[in-house]
């Protein structure tokens, strides 16, 4: 029965990917580093580059009538672009990810004349029972903390931090975020030993990194499916995955491999024997 759910999820993820919708995932609201203007949290590597705060570019600050304090140093926000390069011998087009960045300042500590747009909203949710069961049923899992602002799994500490339930406008997004980090934790050297988790110094944008993100997102979507959580989270997952894999047609192989690993990871958390299907 569960395999059915897995298959449905895999298909939906691929379907969404093919649609190519890319709104950035924004599942929780309090704490962390956000764009001052939009109040959207930064994701990916930027959550490691920026401390909690509200950030704006020099131009945005000027336009809003603010002024960067004397001597303040900017922070860097990065994003990926793909460069197409033709191989001289084979004539094949190779896609190379390269980093772009822009500079920002934190408006509360580094800027004069601008005010915080932050609202500490608290959402009053009832936990979803079936999803809680999955979380609590993960035998020999990692340690957990629930501080605002950052969803992350630290392989060396074998520890997850997930923003608390009250920070998520949608209860489903809390579980899909928690499940995402739980799936990462199954890759730990004491569990399923996945390269994306055990390899040290994996560069952001490497295939091994992208693949681990795929595994985490697809595995989270599968666990959400098992918990009977609304499929809208799958759409968000798909957008997130798509932001890692800009060209699905080149990377279908990656999606298929990741789906198999995601299924193993979900099985591990659910305490089920690995399926015999490879
Ligand atoms: Zn992740």
pLDDT at 179: 94
How far away, in angstroms, is 154 Cα from ligand 1 center?
11
How far away, in angstroms, is 125 Cα from ligand 1 center?
24
Which stretch, 24-28, 52-56, 148-152, has highest mean pLDDT?
Answer: 52-56
How far away, in angstroms, is 212 Cα from ligand 1 center?
7
Residue 120 — φ and ψ, nearest 5°? -90, 85
Closest by Cα among 157, 277, 265, 276 to 220: 265
CA–CA distance, 269 with 179 (Å, rounded to integer) = 9
**DSSP for residue 41:** B
Locate 68 and state its tokens: 């960067």
How far away, in angstroms, is 84 Cα from ligand 1 center?
26
β-pairing, 152-154 vs 159-161, is antiparallel
pLDDT at 255: 73
Residue 205 — φ and ψ, nearest 5°? 95, -15
Extended beta strands in 75-180, E state: 75-86, 93-106, 111-112, 143-145, 152-154, 159-161
Say if CB 112 and CB 66 are below 8 A apart: yes
pLDDT tens by residue, 149-205: 778 899 999 999 998 999 888 888 899 899 999 999 999 999 999 988 888 766 555
pLDDT at 10: 59
pLDDT band at 122 (very low <50, low <70, confident <90, very high): confident
How far away, in angstroms, is 175 Cα from ligand 1 center?
14
Alpha carbons within 13 angstroms on the beta-carbon side of residue 264 total 19
Task: Calculate what percentage of the chain has a pLDDT beyond 90.
Answer: 32
Regarding pTM above 0.85, the answer is no
pLDDT tens by residue, 34-51: 899 988 877 666 765 677
Please give the average per-residue pLDDT across 125-153, as a whole number. Answer: 92
Say if CB 181 and CB 152 are below 8 A apart: yes
Give the H or E element holding residue 55: strand 53-56
Residue 22: partners with Cβ closer than 8 Å, 6 or more residues away: 239, 242, 243
How far away, in angstroms, is 25 Cα from ligand 1 center?
12
How far away, in angstroms, is 213 Cα from ligand 1 center?
5
pLDDT at 183: 96
Residue 217: partners with Cβ closer than 8 Å, 6 or more residues away: 13, 180, 237, 240, 241
Say which residue the tokens 């649609």 belong to. 19
How far away, in angstroms, is 209 Cα from ligand 1 center?
9
Residue 135 — φ and ψ, nearest 5°? -60, -50
Residue 21, pLDDT > 50, answer no
CA–CA distance, 191 with 92 (Å, rounded to integer) = 39
pLDDT at 181: 94
Start-end of H helices in 114-206:
129-136, 171-185, 195-198
pLDDT at 2: 47
Mean pLDDT, the chain, rounded, equals 79
How far away, in angstroms, is 71 Cα from ligand 1 center?
35
More confident residue, 257 or 58: 58
pLDDT tens by residue, 227-274: 988 655 566 666 666 655 554 455 666 777 888 899 999 999 999 865
pLDDT tens by residue, 64-111: 999 999 999 988 887 767 778 888 888 888 777 666 788 999 998 899
Give the H or E element holding residue 67: strand 67-68
CA–CA distance, 190 with 140 (Å, rounded to integer) = 10
């Amino acid at each position: 029965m569960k395999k059915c759910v897995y298959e449905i999820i895999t298909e939906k993820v691929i379907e969404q990917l093919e649609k190519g919708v890319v709104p950035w995932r924004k599942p929780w609201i309090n704490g962390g580093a956000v764009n001052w203007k939009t109040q959207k949290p930064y994701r990916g590597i930027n959550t490691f580059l920026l401390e909690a705060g509200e950030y704006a570019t020099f131009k945005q600050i000027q336009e809003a009538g603010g002024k960067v304090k004397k001597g303040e140093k900017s922070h860097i926000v990065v994003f990926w672009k793909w460069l197409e390069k033709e191989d001289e011998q084979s004539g094949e087009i190779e896609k190379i990810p390269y980093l772009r960045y822009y500079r920002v300042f934190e408006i509360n500590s580094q800027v004069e004349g601008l005010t915080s747009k932050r609202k500490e909203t608290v959402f009053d949710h009832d936990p979803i029972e079936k999803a809680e069961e999955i979380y609590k049923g993960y035998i020999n899992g990692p340690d957990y903390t629930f501080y605002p602002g950052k969803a992350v799994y630290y392989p060396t500490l074998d520890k997850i931090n997930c923003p608390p339930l009250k920070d998520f406008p949608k209860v489903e997004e809390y579980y899909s975020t928690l499940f995402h980090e739980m799936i990462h934790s199954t890759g730990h050297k004491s569990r399923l030993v996945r390269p994306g988790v055990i390899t040290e110094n994996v560069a952001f944008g490497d295939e091994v990194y992208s693949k681990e993100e795929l595994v985490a997102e697809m595995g989270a979507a599968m666990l959400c499916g098992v918990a009977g959580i609304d499929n809208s989270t799958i759409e968000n997952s798909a957008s997130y995955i798509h932001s890692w894999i800009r060209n699905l047609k080149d990377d279908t192989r990656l999606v298929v491999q990741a789906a198999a690993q995601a299924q193993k990871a979900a099985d591990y958390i659910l305490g089920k024997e690995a399926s015999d299907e490879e």
